[in-house]
Amino acid sequence: MSKQEWAKGLEIQGIEPPLSLHQYKLIAFDMDSTLVTSECVDEIADVVGKKAEVAAITEAAMQGVITDYKESLRQRVALLKGVTLAQLEQVYNERVQLTPGAESLVQACQKAGLKTVLVSGGFTFFTDRIRAKLQLDFSRSNLLEAKDGVLTGRMTDQSWGDICDGDEKRRAVLDLASLMGIDPQQVIAVGDGSNDIPMMQAVGLSVAFHAKPRVKAVAKVAINEGGLDRLLEVVKL
């Protein structure tokens, strides 16, 4: 498929806009650098003076240089040992901001009747709060282990598995769609990193938001400038 510029800062391939939001039933969002402007794990690391070390691993994982996402996340979480839950609260309050256009896009999708899901390689501490803030229907992410209010440097297994990586994001989105009787072609997936590619390739409309080159290459819509609500220029209410 050849990419073409639909509007300034918007690229499309394999579709003919404008599309209608009403032809979709479910939209799946990544969190870090997608629904929110920061990478939460990097910001937590900054609290303990390890941001550069953790951010380097994050960037390599998002670029696809580190192909074992689970191992890269375990390495980063190990560096967070000793961070307190109070410090996590501080990170959320001071450093986690919704991406411009996030609320507008989510509200437009809800108005059109779409179910909303947040699937993140990040942590429940943050996804639970973002889910509540945006009134999203579902979420799946990783659970940091804490003892006596302090992170242990490990994650806790959950009923569905150990770590929400790219394969788990894809599985979660497709399972949710199946349970609700939604065809994968009626699903939109929005992300920015390599671990978003599996879910993006499994659904009807893939959206890359200020994304890494290999993510933009597989996306039907690439938002390179502006906020998340620019999707509404391509997929209208």
CATH number reported for the structural domain that contains residue 28 in this entry? 3.40.50.1000
- Report yes or no on 82 lying in a domain: no
Q: What is the pLDDT of residue 70?
A: 94
| Residues ≥6 apart with Cβ < 8 Å to 208 | 191, 192, 200, 215, 216, 218, 219, 221, 222, 223
- Report yes or no on 182 lying in a domain: yes
| Residues ≥6 apart with Cβ < 8 Å to 117 | 26, 27, 28, 29, 136, 137, 138, 139, 140, 172, 173, 176
Nearest one of 157, 193, 189 to 170, comparing CA atoms: 189
Active site positions, annotated: 30, 32
Nearest one of 133, 129, 105, 115 to 28, comparing CA atoms: 115
Q: For residues 64 and 53, what is the distance between their CA atoms, to the nearest angstrom?
A: 17
Alpha helices (H) along the chain: 40-47, 51-63, 69-78, 85-95, 102-111, 124-134, 166-179, 197-202, 213-218
- Report yes or no on 71 lying in a domain: no
- Report yes or no on 55 lying in a domain: no
pTM for this model (two decimals): 0.96
Q: How many domains does the chain have?
A: 1
- Report yes or no on 177 lying in a domain: yes
- Report yes or no on 47 lying in a domain: no
Q: What is the pLDDT of residue 62?
A: 82
- Report yes or no on 65 lying in a domain: no
Spans in the chain with pLDDT lower than 50: none
- Report yes or no on 228 lying in a domain: yes
Q: What is the pLDDT of residue 24?
A: 98
Q: What is the pLDDT of residue 168?
A: 98
Q: What is the pLDDT of residue 20?
A: 97
Q: For residues 223 and 105, what is the distance between their CA atoms, to the nearest angstrom?
A: 13
Domain region containing 149: 4-38+98-236
Q: What is the pLDDT of residue 184?
A: 98
